[in-house]
């Protein structure tokens, strides 16, 4: 049996998600793979964010350039909880809702070093190249740690 895109997609959606206090409707929560940053992913030949695929299924096109969540639930795929916007719109929305929190140091998902490693790099007298090799990071990463362009809060 060949399922349509919509059928394959919506079998991974829980339509009994939490009720959003402002929108007064339930989030439709993606139940398949969720990335560490909270966004659902759907594979349809290529992987894409589940909320973008939901938009495509409902409107016949992907949100341009971005699909933003009114409900702030990254796993929500209910298109009435979304709107189209730019990266700038996304940042303004995040700031307006008080969701912006700078991810510093080890809390940053892209951090390659620990606080202890940063302190050790700064006290060492080895060359930047040797420190980069020792800690398994790039020359530029070590240079930015030493000059405090990165990890400046320590």
The Cα–Cα gap between 1 and 117 comes to: 55
Q: The whole model's pTM is what?
A: 0.64
The Cα–Cα gap between 100 and 88 comes to: 13
Taking phi first (over 0 means left), then psi (-120 to 50 degrees means alpha), and beta for anything else, what does residue 98 get?
left
- Which of the residue ranges 3-12, 62-71, 81-90, 110-119 would you say has the lowest mean pLDDT? 110-119
Of 112, 107, 110, residue with least CA distance to 134: 112
Cβ 114 vs Cβ 154: under 8 Å:
no
The Cα–Cα gap between 90 and 78 comes to: 18
Checking if the pLDDT of 109 tops 70, the result is no
Percent of the chain at pLDDT > 70 equals 95
C-alpha 127, offset from chain centre:
35
Mean of pLDDT values over 7-35: 94
Q: Which two tokens stand for residue 120?
A: 């050790």
Q: Interhelix angle for 115-123 vs 139-146, to 10°?
A: 80
Taking phi first (over 0 means left), then psi (-120 to 50 degrees means alpha), and beta for anything else, what does residue 27 get?
beta
pLDDT number for residue 100: 66
């Amino acid at each position: 049996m060949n399922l349509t895109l919509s059928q394959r997609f919506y079998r991974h959606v829980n339509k009994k998600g939490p009720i959003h206090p402002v929108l007064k409707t339930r989030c439709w929560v993606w139940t398949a793979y969720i990335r560490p940053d909270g966004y659902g992913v759907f594979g349809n030949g290529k992987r894409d964010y589940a909320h973008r695929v939901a938009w495509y299924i409902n409107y016949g096109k992907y949100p341009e350039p971005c699909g933003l969540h009114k409900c702030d639930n990254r796993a929500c795929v209910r298109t009435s909880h979304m709107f189209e916007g730019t990266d700038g719109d996304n940042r303004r929305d995040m700031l307006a809702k008080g969701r912006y929190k700078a991810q510093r140091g080890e809390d940053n998902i892209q951090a390659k070093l620990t606080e202890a490693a940063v302190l050790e790099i700064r006290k060492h007298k080895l060359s930047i190249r040797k420190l980069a090799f020792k800690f398994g990071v790039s020359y530029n990463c070590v240079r930015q740690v030493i000059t405090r362009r990165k990890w400046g809060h320590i």
